[in-house]
Amino acid sequence: MQYDLHSHSTASDGTLSPTALLHRAAQQGVDALALTDHDTTDGLNEARQAAHTNGIELISGVEISVTWEGVTVHILGLGIDDSNELLQTGLSGLRDFRGWRAQEIARKLEKAGVEEAYAGARKYATGKLISRTHFARYLVECGKAKNVGDVFKKFLVRGKPGHVGGQWAGLEEVVTWIRNACGYAVIAHPARYKMSATRLRKLMQAFKDAGGSGIEVVSGSHGPNDRHNMAQYARQFDLYASTGSDFHGPENPWIELGRLDGLPSNCKPIWTLWD
């Protein structure tokens, strides 16, 4: 079985519709895909339909934005009941924050000489949610940078002209939303936060204490070394191991669906919780 438990569609900042995403996943040999859009479950109905058509298993998911001790951390909810009211109320609050933040980002970018930044980003945001990725695509269009990664570096991170801080949801709170919706909480791409080993251990302990189930060991944004380290953390904290590409679309060919390495053999796969 080929599992990919982290992916995005046009409901958040991916570039494929849920239908096109499921079709591509099936073509790439994925047997079970989780759609985990940022702070929304809007793509799931279409994805369920497309999963059926393509003979592939869909895991209902979401990737929730959290602020933990001043750092943005992403928590996946896997196997969620997306009709859950507590979860939906929480996600709706995060999207409100995104709406406010987008206006602020646009205002700052305009001061830095980017015209029509809000309308420009909005054009790329076809779902209800707006993200920094949509601004990045517009800035590439305007010729402000050569690619999306470059826009982040030059404009959208701390200390740069289009950066806006703020608070996402709390860690304990988000784990509670996910569990209340009968899902399993997983720390997304833990190696990407660039935390010291001490801080990362503190995060894992807080997450475990809150009722978290697992961490991504294999990830599109992890190297072999990260995978090895995260497998050790998973064992140390008795957390299940997850695997996900974090696919956002075919324009990032280095993160393709269906190309993930297997989990290290000493890990407990997260899917044993529901399979």
> Which of 9/84 has CB closer to Mn ion?
9
> Which of 118/237 has CB closer to ligand AMP?
118
- To ligand AMP, the closest distance from the beta carbon of 248 in angstroms equals 6
148 binds ligand AMP (CB under 6 A): yes
161 φ/ψ angles, rounded to the nearest 5 degrees: -60, -25
Using CB under 6 A, which residues numbered 19 to 48 contact ligand AMP?
38
Q: Alpha-carbon torsion 183, 92, 138, 17, what sign? A: positive
- Selected range binding ligand AMP among 19-27, 114-122, 146-154, 256-264, rule: CB under 6 A: 146-154
7 binds ligand AMP (CB under 6 A): no
| 265: alpha, beta or left? (left if phi > 0; alpha if psi -120 to 50) | alpha
When CB distances are held under 5 to 8 angstroms depending on the partner's kind, the choice from ligand AMP, Mn ion, none that residue 149 binds is: ligand AMP
Using CB under 6 A, which residues numbered 150 to 179 contact ligand AMP?
152
132 binds ligand AMP (CB under 6 A): yes
- To ligand AMP, the closest distance from the beta carbon of 183 in angstroms equals 19
Q: Is 155 exposed, middle or buried (0-12, 13-18, 19+ CB in 10 A)?
A: buried
> Which of 233/247 has CB closer to ligand AMP?
247
9 binds ligand AMP (CB under 6 A): no
User: Going edge to edge, which strands form the sheet with 240-244?
Assistant: 3-4, 32-35, 57-68, 71-78, 184-187, 214-219, 240-244
Using CB under 6 A, which residues numbered 97 to 126 contact ligand AMP?
none
- Taking the C-alpha atoms of residue 132 and residue 223, their distance in angstroms, rounded to an integer, is 24
53 φ/ψ angles, rounded to the nearest 5 degrees: -60, -40
Task: Name the DSSP letter for residue 247.
Answer: B
CB 259 within 8 A of CB 28: yes
Q: Report, in this order, helix, strand and coil percent for the chain, each rounded to 5.
A: 45, 15, 40
- To ligand AMP, the closest distance from the beta carbon of 273 in angstroms equals 25
Residue span 191-230 as binding mask against ligand AMP, x where in contact by CB under 6 A, dash where not: ----------------------------------------
Q: Half-sphere exposure of residue 197, counting CA atoms within 13 Å on the CB side?
A: 6
Which residues in this chain contact ligand AMP in the complex, by CB under 6 A? Answer: 13, 38, 65, 131-133, 148-149, 152, 248
